[in-house]
Amino acid sequence: MTRTSLKKKFFSCCVLIFLLFAIICVWKEKKKGNFYELLKLQNKEFQLLQGLEKLAMISSSQPVSSSSTHHPQRSNQALGGPKAKLESTFQVWDKDSSSKNLIPRLQTIRKNYLSMNKYKVTYKGPGPGVKFSAEALLCHLRDHVNISMIETTDFPFNTSDWEGYLSQDDIRTKAGPWGRCAVVSSAGSLKSSRLGREIDDHDAVLRFNGAPTVKFQQDVGTKTTIRLVNSQWYRNPDYNFFNNFKSYRKLHPDQPFYILKPQMPWELWDIIQEISSEQIQPNPPSSGMLGIIIMMSLCDQVDIYEFLPSKRKTDVCYYYQKYFDSACTMGAYHPLLFEKNMVKHLNLGTDEDIYLLGKATLPGFRTIRCGA
């Protein structure tokens, strides 16, 4: 079976949410008021889209969220020093992990992204380093990160050539509300985890991109309710990014397929920057982190597998590929280190669950009580 038809099979049975990192930077521009000028400069929409496609290829060339990999000598520092060791026999992710603990190569990459500032991000919010209790942070996330999908009235999709391509129904009528949900990273450390049955025991399961279940059932389960797909999937230089989207929609008109509004990753980015005590990479959060937040808006409880690395941590990036790079756990393009600090801070589960299962548990937004 070819790669393409395999993917069609994977994607045909569940809700799809598409991440348009490609147009994020354009939206960012719009915020600053020069988006329309950009449009005027580009006479033909086609040209603009082609430019965006190139950006998509650059910005999405990074691995999806995952957890694994540490330089063995470094992992002690990154995963909580001797103090953590005294408190618990399970040495897990330290919620105050600092970029100083990264291997030199990753420190350099982070600094390069900071000085490049590809998306011209300017942070004007409070902090950095504002301390929130876990409860207050949950409310902050709930109230400041808008999880909504592109609608037919949203520019530039509000033209006649987009008619019929965007799902009309609110995602909440197609997805959820659910009780217990699982977010399954694609981390190499899922290999030999035997978590399949536990994962399938959830009401809904979110997976990323083309992460397969066939041949990996024992470790990752079989159930897929939502797939979060980034533009990498369309990374084929022979075809236009948006034309591919349209072709897919023509083939699967009945499949609930949504495009996440590109503002959302930046609203989340602002909060991660606000609570982090140092500058985070000015690039969108990982799709792993976005998937977690999306599920928090659809479920009462979200169990996240191998986002915070377990004892199985490895340099292998994906459970279904042999590719390895320490950036997959610690972050290079994405501010992954800081995302993990946040998830550890919010975790309701035990260090034992992180260590043995790679499992962190976050509450759904509907279950939290926030002050007036």
Ligand X SMILES: *[C@@H]1O[C@H](CO)[C@@H](O)[C@H](O)[C@H]1NC(C)=O
Interface positions with ligand X (CB under 6 A): 144, 146, 155, 158-159
Task: Please report how close the Cβ of residue 63 comes to ligand X at its closest, in angstroms.
Answer: 29
Task: Please report how close the Cβ of residue 29 comes to ligand X at its closest, in angstroms.
Answer: 14
- Contact indicator for 288, 66 with CB cutoff of 8 Å: yes
Q: How far apart are CA 153 and CA 142, in angstroms?
A: 25
Among left, alpha and beta (phi > 0; psi -120 to 50; other), residue 15 is beta
Nearer to ligand X, 184 or 271 (CB): 271
Task: Please report how close the Cβ of residue 271 comes to ligand X at its closest, in angstroms.
Answer: 11
Task: Please report how close the Cβ of residue 46 comes to ligand X at its closest, in angstroms.
Answer: 18
Nearer to ligand X, 261 or 312 (CB): 261
Half-sphere exposure of 181 (CA within 13 A, CB side): 29
Nearer to ligand X, 52 or 204 (CB): 52
Task: Please report how close the Cβ of residue 42 comes to ligand X at its closest, in angstroms.
Answer: 16
Instruction: From 70, 87, 62, select the one nearest 309 (Cα to Cα).
Output: 70
- Contact indicator for 209, 62 with CB cutoff of 8 Å: no
Nearer to ligand X, 46 or 155 (CB): 155
Q: How far apart are CA 74 and CA 164, in angstroms?
A: 52
Nearer to ligand X, 27 or 90 (CB): 27
Task: Please report how close the Cβ of residue 156 comes to ligand X at its closest, in angstroms.
Answer: 7
- Contact indicator for 49, 79 with CB cutoff of 8 Å: no
List of residues 6+ apart from 56 with CB closer than 8 A = 21, 22, 231, 232, 234, 235, 241
User: Count of CB atoms within 10 A of residue 11's CB?
Assistant: 21
Q: How far apart are CA 319 and CA 186, in angstroms?
A: 6
Nearer to ligand X, 5 or 160 (CB): 160
Task: Please report how close the Cβ of residue 34 comes to ligand X at its closest, in angstroms.
Answer: 15
List of residues 6+ apart from 348 with CB closer than 8 A = 361, 362, 363
Task: Please report how close the Cβ of residue 150 comes to ligand X at its closest, in angstroms.
Answer: 12
Structure token digits, residue 32: 């600053």
Q: How far apart are CA 271 and CA 288, in angstroms?
A: 16
Structure token digits, residue 285: 């959060």
* Residue 372: strand pairing partners: none
Task: Please report how close the Cβ of residue 356 comes to ligand X at its closest, in angstroms.
Answer: 37
Kindly state the helix (H) or strand (E) to which residue 84 belongs, with its residue range: helix 82-87
Nearer to ligand X, 261 or 344 (CB): 261
Using CA atoms of 322, 352, 71, 345 in order, give the dihedral in degrees to the nearest 10. 100
Kindly state the helix (H) or strand (E) to which residue 134 belongs, with its residue range: helix 134-144
Nearer to ligand X, 146 or 236 (CB): 146
Nearer to ligand X, 144 or 194 (CB): 144
Task: Please report how close the Cβ of residue 250 comes to ligand X at its closest, in angstroms.
Answer: 22
Residue type, 340: K
Nearer to ligand X, 226 or 264 (CB): 264
237 cis-preceded (ω within 30 degrees of 0): no
